[in-house]
Structure 1
Amino acid sequence: MRKISIKDVAKKAGVSIAAVSQILNNKGQRFSEATTEKVLQARDELGYVPNSAARNLKGRHKRLIGIIVPSFRMPFFADIIQSMQASAPSDVNLVFLGSTDESLQDAIFSLVERGVEALVFGRHIPNRAEVNTFLKKRNIPYLVLDQNADINAHDMVQTNEFTGGSMAASHLMSLGHRDIALILPNNLTDNMRQRRAGFLDTLSTANLTPKTIITTTLSKHGGLAAVHQLIQSKSTAAFILNDEMAIGVLRGLAYQDIKVPDDISIIGYDDTDYAEFMIPTLTTIAQPVWEIGETALKMIIRRLDHPNLPLQTEFFDVKLVIRESTGPVKNTKGNH
């Protein structure tokens, strides 16, 4: 559907574009009350919304930066958003969009139409070459988080995901676990592949492989759905690549009256804000989410200020946060 323009309002009201512009910008004192009323009525009937990007070309210019995430419901991305909002300078406006793989192209078009000068991708980009070409043609720089580690982006923020997966394996093995399940989302992003690789590599140093590998949807319900397979595997521990899924697994185990960590140990990834409020509290791998959001925003602003900067990359470490959901393996294996 074509966007209603100021020209459409002028035509409907029977006045000049200049008159509409002045009236809508509260500078229409010289026009009669009847003319002003006609313009406002035409605006409301047509549903015209002034283009803030165009308006900002006059007077003090506020730079508009778009941030695309997979979901606002996931605490990890909610924290990223909050950290960016808290650290945004006064001359920058941020606009956030949630997008599925299927709606990503529409989300990008929508933000470009709104006049964004730069983009931050906090989600996986499936059609990378196409997106890259589209944004380069329009001179819109973009930064990616590590869901897109192998894309040819100018700027990137990464965390040491391989080490995170390795830490999870080492922690479970240090507690005596040898029958360890791995629970993955159906669609692995680049950073999750690194988590998996670190986990498998560290198991292999002890001549171990996962007791079972279960794939499920990246959600609490997905974790819940994986529980039956997990129980059937008789694993004594499980590494789950995301706290969202881990929460679902904890709930599913509770439904089956399986005690964590007495019967099975569970470790997640991300250290989302509710991990420490679960019963039991969740052992997990923590990422410095607040710093990631702040740094990503600073980097993309720096790119706008200095378009010819060389590649910018920031790399963050992760840490193991030990809570109640992991414990020593019991001598009586497979009793659940």
Structure 2
Amino acid sequence: MRKTSIKDVAKKADVSIAAVSQILNNKGQRFSKHTIEKVLQARDDLGYVPNSAARNLKGTHNRLIGIIVPSFRMPFFADIIQSMQDNAPTDVNLVFLGSTDDNLQNAIYSLVERGAQALIFGKPIPNRAEVNEFLKKRHIPYLVLDQNADINAQDMVQTNEFTGGSLVASHLLSLGHRKIALILPNKLTDNMRQRRAGFLDTLSTANLSPTTIITATLSKHGGLASVHQLIQSESTAAFVLNDEMAIGVLRGLAYQNIKVPADISIAGYDDTDYAEFMIPTLTTVMQPVLEIGKAALNMILRRLDHPNLPFQTAFFDVKLIVRESTGSVKL
């Protein structure tokens, strides 16, 4: 389906194309308030967004894909970005934006205004119905990673997060641990809820529940801040739902002269690039990040080529990587 043009806006507002152009470019002072309001209302009703990229790149035929992530500092998303860049065809331009929940709408509008023909969301969408309506009106397809499991996207890439959490629990139980803490970000994404569910489900099969559940910000500093509660819980092991936080936990335990894994075992999630370079190296769950990035890009390009394709999904398994940070419980 073609996108709304300035001609469509002019027709709906019953004014000339020149009038629409001037009003939308803030040069419509000579027009009446009534005419300006008609044009703006027609623009909003039709979902028209002026395409600055088309104005600046006339004669080019490159497709533009916008990718929104929560942060460029997180290695997981840095690897996804690199994978997409490595696998992008020569006729595809990628634009990456970091966005908080508060400025997500502005980030989306910015990408659309630049001429993005499709979007990939690597972060949770808080106002999902509004975003879906905004993009649907503008005929812009989008793909989500599994931080958005219950949104009505046309395409989705998922990993087996439930199994990932279960693998960690089974590993710690096999090492004899029965007093196991759970450390969570204070804002859980859909995929993290699946990790937590898999972990708790497997503990319950051993008639266990976490000795403590600690919440903190999703950062190294958040992990560091959780250490005092972890020590007080007298847990012999902890599952940290994200490697970023796990690194902070390791540092906090080192500050307190608590040895890992001799005194407490620590497991993370994501297998970020520095997990194998920590001291001790971090036991964690590996997601096939490079394959995820490649699959997401290929799927959204197929959607652009074939808009009426049925729902596309890619599902990836995870793997437990056992390293030095977990060991048998001390008797």
Q: TM-score range by the shorter chain?
A: 0.7 to 0.9
Q: What whole-Å deviation, never above 9, does each CA across 1:162-199 have from its counterpart, x for those lacking one?
A: 00000000000000000000000000000000000000
Report the alpha carbon displacement of residue 53 of structure 1 after superposing the two structures with TM: 2.7
Task: Give the AA of the match of 2:153.
Answer: A
Distance 1:264 1:103 in 2: 40
Aligned to 1:182: 182
2:169 touches 2:203 (CA, 8 Å); kept in 1?
yes
Aligned to 1:137: 137
Aligned to 2:328: 328
Report the alpha carbon displacement of residue 51 of structure 1 after superposing the two structures with TM: 3.4
Aligned to 2:211: 211
Instruction: Give the TM-score normalised by the residue count of structure 2.
Output: 0.84
Q: What whole-Å deviation, never above 9, does each CA across 1:241-284 have from its counterpart, x for those lacking one?
A: 00000000000000000000000000000000000000000000
Task: Give the AA of the match of 1:53.
Answer: A
Task: Give the AA of the match of 1:227.
Answer: V
Distance 1:296 1:303 in 2: 11
Task: Give the AA of the match of 1:173.
Answer: L
Aligned to 2:54: 53
How many pairs does the alignment contain? 285
Report the alpha carbon displacement of residue 55 of structure 1 after superposing the two structures with TM: 3.8
> Is 2:171 the partner of 1:171?
yes
Distance 1:211 1:217 in 2: 20
| Correspondences of 1:308-323 after superposition (within 5 Å) | 308-323=308-323
Report the alpha carbon displacement of residue 59 of structure 1 after superposing the two structures with TM: 2.6
SS in 2 for 1:156: strand
Task: Give the AA of the match of 2:291.
Answer: E
Aligned to 1:25: none
Report the alpha carbon displacement of residue 200 of structure 1 after superposing the two structures with TM: 0.2
| Correspondences of 1:1-336 after superposition (within 5 Å) | 51-56=52-57, 58-331=58-331
Distance 2:53 2:103 in 1: 24
2:52 touches 2:113 (CA, 8 Å); kept in 1?
no
Report the alpha carbon displacement of residue 152 of structure 1 after superposing the two structures with TM: 0.7
Task: Give the AA of the match of 1:277.
Answer: F
Aligned to 1:32: none
Distance 1:259 1:311 in 2: 49
Distance 2:287 2:155 in 1: 19
Report the alpha carbon displacement of residue 60 of structure 1 after superposing the two structures with TM: 3.5
Aligned to 1:3: none
Distance 2:54 2:249 in 1: 46
Task: Give the AA of the match of 1:65.
Answer: I
| Structure 1 residue ranges (4+ consecutive) displaced by more than 4 angstroms after TM superposition | none
Q: Of the two, which has the highest radius of gyration?
A: 1
Task: Give the AA of the match of 2:207.
Answer: N
Task: Give the AA of the match of 2:297.
Answer: L
Q: What whole-Å deviation, never above 9, does each CA across 1:83-122 have from its counterpart, x for those lacking one?
A: 0001000000000000011111110111111110000000
Distance 1:67 1:252 in 2: 34
Task: Give the AA of the match of 1:52.
Answer: A
SS in 2 for 1:270: coil
Report the alpha carbon displacement of residue 285 of structure 1 after superposing the two structures with TM: 0.3
Report the alpha carbon displacement of residue 123 of structure 1 after superposing the two structures with TM: 0.3
Aligned to 2:44: none
Task: Give the AA of the match of 2:78.
Answer: A
2:268 touches 2:282 (CA, 8 Å); kept in 1?
yes
SS in 1 for 2:226: helix
Q: What whole-Å deviation, never above 9, does each CA across 1:142-176 have from its counterpart, x for those lacking one?
A: 00000001111000000000000000000000000
SS in 2 for 1:183: strand
SS in 1 for 2:89: coil
| Ranges in structure 2 where 5+ consecutive residues have no aligned partner | 1-20, 23-50
Instruction: Give the TM-score normalised by the residue count of structure 1.
Output: 0.83
Report the alpha carbon displacement of residue 52 of structure 1 after superposing the two structures with TM: 3.1
Distance 2:94 2:114 in 1: 11
Q: Percent identity?
A: 82
SS in 2 for 1:177: coil
Task: Give the AA of the match of 2:53.
Answer: S
